[in-house]
């Protein structure tokens, strides 16, 4: 008969338990590493897609130019929103469309104007006839901007549009418009000289990722 003497701390059960914990940690580390690598790869893909947006060339004359909303600073459009408006004015003056749709809701309950109203005021101040501007004041996202703008187009008998925004935002806006069934939507995108691209492109990667997940469940 063989005899085994076990000292404290050397129980076979404890040894097995330590091996299991060690295997679990290795597997967990592998899962975390693979997940992190996949996340970085997706960020690179999304970043590339975001940077690929460009204005339609040549740009075909459309029924409307849709300016997507951005934050108001009190009664005035923010510097970033002014960039979109100024680019929209340039396209309008070049004859790329004859009517504007300005889209955006209320940023803050204390503000007097919604994004749509602020944009309308700005365009009128810069010589656009009030009757050439259609406005929606309810949207709180790019998705709603394009959904509610499409409803205006359908009501007004318009079929084609140039979607006006910043370059970093253009790809997602175009994909959403295509998802809604816009007829040959065109992008009109401008670069920003007032906003931090590190901040806004990082946020756009998250927003674009959310949009792609949303598409999976539509």
Answer with the residue of higher pLDDT: 121 or 45: 121
pLDDT at 2 exceeding the cut of 50: no
What is the model's pTM?
A: 0.83
The pLDDT assigned to 3 comes to: 47
Over residues 124-129, mean pLDDT: 98
pLDDT at 18 exceeding the cut of 60: yes
Chain length of the chain? 218
Q: Please list the alpha-helical segments (H only) found in the chain.
A: 12-51, 79-93, 115-125, 142-156, 167-180, 197-216
Under DSSP, is residue 131 helix (H, G, I), strand (E, B) or coil?
A: helix
> Which among 148, 152, 72, 165 has a CA at the least distance from the CA of 113?
72
The pLDDT assigned to 15 comes to: 61
- Could you tell me which residues come within 8 angstroms of residue 31 by beta carbon, excluding any fewer than 6 positions away? none
Q: Yes or no: say if 174 and 187 are a contact pair by the CB < 8 Å rule.
A: yes
């Amino acid at each position: 008969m063989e005899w085994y003497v076990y000292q404290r701390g050397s129980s076979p059960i404890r040894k097995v338990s330590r091996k299991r914990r060690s295997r679990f940690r290795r597997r967990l580390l592998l899962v975390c590493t693979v997940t992190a690598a996949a996340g970085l790869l997706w960020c690179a893909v999304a970043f590339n897609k975001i940077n690929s947006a460009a204005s339609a060339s040549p740009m075909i004359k459309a029924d409307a130019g849709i300016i997507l909303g951005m934050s108001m600073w009190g009664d005035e459009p923010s510097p970033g929103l002014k960039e979109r408006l100024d680019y929209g004015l340039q396209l309008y003056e070049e004859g790329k469309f004859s009517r504007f749709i300005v889209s955006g809701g209320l940023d803050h309950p204390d503000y007097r104007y919604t994004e749509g109203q602020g944009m309308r005021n700005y365009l009128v101040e810069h010589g656009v006839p009030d009757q050439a501007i259609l406005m929606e004041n309810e949207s709180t996202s790019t998705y709603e901007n394009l959904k509610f703008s499409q409803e205006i187009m359908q009501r007004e008998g318009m079929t084609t549009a140039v979607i006006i925004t910043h370059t970093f935002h253009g790809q997602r806006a175009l994909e959403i418009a295509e998802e809604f069934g816009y007829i040959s939507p065109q992008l009109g995108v401008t670069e920003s000289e007032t906003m931090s691209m590190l901040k806004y492109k990082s946020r756009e990667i998250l927003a674009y990722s959310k949009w792609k997940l949303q598409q999976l469940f539509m």
